[in-house]
Amino acid sequence: MAPTPPSFTYTYEELRLLCNRLSVILQPWPYSNGILTNHQIGTTLYTADTTLTRHCHAFYEGFVLLNGGVTLVTPWKTQELRAGSVMVFSPGTIHQWQTQDQACLLLDLSFALDHRVMTPQQYCWPVCDEILWTVLLLCDTVQAARPGWAWRANSHLGVIYATLMSLIETPAQTKSTAGVLSQSPLVIQIDELLRIHLAAPLTIEALANEVSMSARHLTRRFHAYTGMTIHARLDALRMEQAVRFLCQTNLPIAEIARAVGITNAAYFAHRFRQRFERSPYEFRKMGDVEQSSTRFV
């Protein structure tokens, strides 16, 4: 195993310029279920006592922590991270950064997937020391700009993207026991039907009619593809939408509950606390949310 770099040797300004050069040669990258499309590669520098307002995005966002240490706060977990930490957020994931270090440097990569990945909610981001060498090799390649540098740079990026995707793809999300890709048209169609009818959910029988199969066959196939029941997926979508309402509107809690298909506000608060370890009211009071986009996927 290669030794861990003692520190990232490029400055923020140098890395920013290298990322600008990278942005013009980015290529789509294939992952297990489809194609990852690069949106942007950039860098972020936080200084001592920096606290970034809670925010979320309409795209997938991956990070490699290059220097310093940060406290990452999500609705589900607070974690201390150091250089070499790797993390990725799916669209709509609320997060916040805090640091007490003099300088904290991150490589950030925003991208889209042509098949939505159902990411877990309990994040515990790993430290991948080797990826620091990959980022250094990427920077050296772009800076040297020798013939064929674009191909080599995209190869290094592929290693970084593979690491990010390994954090959000589980075995159940790659292939089922039947060897079928999890992001099948059936899963996508059921997800859309659940989202459209969130306030007044369709029964399993009605969903089955929409996809022209029996209720029993539908439940079995959906579970085989995703590792979860349709009811569990509906509950997850309800809580995702509730988070958006809490952060983006001033709607009363009871009205939000009805909007996501739960008529009993007390039961809604109970389910919300079970998932996020705080009440809807406490969640809303955590702070203002700064969105980079009003569109969610």
Give the global pTM: 0.61
Reply yes or no on domain 12-169 having CATH 2.60.120.10: yes
pLDDT, residue 261, reads: 92
Tokens of 13: 């300004």
pLDDT, residue 179, reads: 34
Q: Which amino acid is at 30?
A: P
Tokens of 203: 């029964």
pLDDT, residue 273, reads: 83
Domain positions in the chain are 12-169, 185-284
pLDDT, residue 120, reads: 56
pLDDT, residue 43, reads: 93
Q: Each residue's pLDDT tens digit in the chain (297 positions)?
A: 445 555 788 999 999 999 999 988 888 888 776 788 887 899 998 887 777 777 777 788 999 999 988 888 887 778 899 999 999 988 777 888 888 777 889 999 999 887 766 555 556 788 888 889 889 999 999 999 999 899 889 888 988 998 888 887 654 443 333 333 344 678 878 888 898 888 899 999 999 998 888 999 999 988 887 778 899 889 888 887 887 788 778 889 999 999 999 999 999 999 888 876 678 888 777 644 333 333 232
**Which fold would CATH assign to domain 185-284?**
Arc Repressor Mutant, subunit A (1.10.10)
pLDDT, residue 282, reads: 80
Give the contacts of 272 (CB within 8 A, at least 6 positions apart): 239, 242, 279, 280, 283
Dump the DSSP string for the chain: -PPPPSS--S-HHHHHHHHHHHTTS---EEETTEEEEEEEEEEEEEETTEEPPPEE-SSEEEEEEEES-EEEE-SS-EEEE-TTBEEEE-TT--BEEEE-SSEEEEEEEEEEESS-----SS--PPB-THHHHHHHHHHHHHHH--TTHHHHHHHHHHHHHHHHHHHH--HHHHB-TTS-BSS-HHHHHHHHHHHHTSSSPPPHHHHHHHTTS-HHHHHHHHHHHHSS-HHHHHHHHHHHHHHHHHHH----HHHHHHHTT---HHHHHHHHHHHHSS-HHHHHTT---EES-S---
pLDDT, residue 126, reads: 87
Alpha-carbon span 71 to 27, nearest angstrom: 32
pLDDT, residue 297, reads: 29
Residue pLDDT, tens place only, 53-68: 777 777 889 999 999 8
Instruction: Please state the separation of Cα 256 from the chain's center in Å.
Output: 24
On whether the CB atoms of residues 83 and 128 are closer than 8 A, the answer is no
